[in-house]
Structure 1
Amino acid sequence: MVMDDPDFLEMEEAETRIGIFEPGRWLERDIDWDKMFRILLLSGAAFALGMALTVVTTLLAVVMGLVRITPSLNIIFEPWSFIFISLGQFGFVILPIRYVRKYGISLRAIGIKAKKPAKEIVIGIIAGLGMLTLSMFLTLITVELTGEPLFQDEMLLAHDTLELIGWALCMILVVGFTEEVLFRGFLQRRFEIYFSSSKKRYKDWAVVITSFIFAVLHLDIYGVPTRLLLGIILGLLAQSRNYSLVSPIIAHGINNFGLVFWNTYYLLPA
């Protein structure tokens, strides 16, 4: 049996220190270290599964001719190739969804819900544009401090308007959706429950630790500070929206799409 979403019910503050009842929290209100450790392992496995499926989609792209390797070992990415490869990220959400289904919890327990979609979309757009501005500013500072060249990637490039639209949809519906469900909806939310019994500022602990994991797993040492800060913004946004992930997903997607737009119109053509 799957739980309904009784967000209108109040829990005893003394029991949870969280306040509003949300799906999953009643069943998971006693998350101890053993349970949290298993959740961390499950999150790591979910990330690994997503990366493994990305390898599979990459190999399929090679077979389909979307990615070509020349005799001199140069890699050529055809239009739409990286959008296709990105579909492997759906592997990130397989295990979190399996987790909530196993315990009979609604998908709302990992942030797949939206009470007021129009409002959430507007908030997500505003937050995304703010994140994009901050991201570009921090990137320029990083370039000045490290001497590393400004990031550019031929994979993150649209060859025409239709592909640019495809990138926008991919960054929101694939990348934004899968990463926000895994990191904010699943992992951060359970960190929050775990710390609620031992830390006064348990919400802050949950956001910072999850954001650090999020930043490190992108495997870009120079990008860790920027992604850590952006992760904190996304984490706070998720909390402020009562873990309805529509706004964080859109904000995440807009921030990522900004890089594609920059590569397409300003960086690579030059």
Structure 2
Amino acid sequence: MKKKLFAAILLLMTTLVAACGGGSNETAQPAAQTAGDGAAQRPIKVGVTGGPHEEIMNKVKEVAKAQGLEIEVVVFNDYVLPNRALDNGETDLNSFQTIPFLEKFNEDHKTDIVVIGKTVTFPMGLYSTKHKSIDEIPEGGIAGIQNDPTNRARALQLYEAAGLIKLKEGVGDQATPLDIIENPKNLEFKELEAPFLARSLNNLDIASINTNFAMEAGYNPKRDAIFAEGPDSPYVNVIAARAEDKDNPTYLKLVEIYRSEEVKKFIEENFEGSVLPSW
């Protein structure tokens, strides 16, 4: 009798443990499996660079929350880590880069990151703390440019537009300092990581600086740049995702919220022409 009672108790305990184990497995599904299906979701992790991209995404986060969509903003301080984090699944989306930059990153790193929405344009500018105009840049001056291929080419095209150099015809977004065929002022080009250019202005005669890093350093691109890209710049910024997530309805909803009138008004009022909505 005791043996039968013991067996019954053992069977009951085994059944309860199995049931608890099954419940645990059910709730531990990866978030990617439930994203976009209307069920409870973890926040969407969006990688951004510090400065305007971060500020705008925080506004998007605020608007999205009112619509039941949770966003976690993950801030990076360079142009490589946001794509690496997206590619390896540490983030779900990112919002910091132009289309040429993304295409070059995919080519160099064999990644498959895609555009799911256009956002804003940050006109790149030429800045100087020593000289008030392009004409004042001295013979043999030191000119700072970004060291990543896409921004470096963009910067060289900006120097060309300012009349400081001339590039080989047709090099476009593949331009390097080796493609300079005319340099009337004999400028010495110094390549630095993009975030360091604004901090290094006192040691340079002139530098090309991305708007987000210029503003982070306290410069107003509209007021402080001595030359800048026009509104027709092809370097529009984008929201990017892994290729397998390009049709994720939750992520596309985030894009829709980003491109809303509420966010557009925020950009226009807070950046006063230094950041231009693309819609």
TM-score (norm 2): 0.24
- Which protein shows a greater Rg? 2
TM-score (norm 1): 0.25
Structure with the bigger percentage of helix: 1
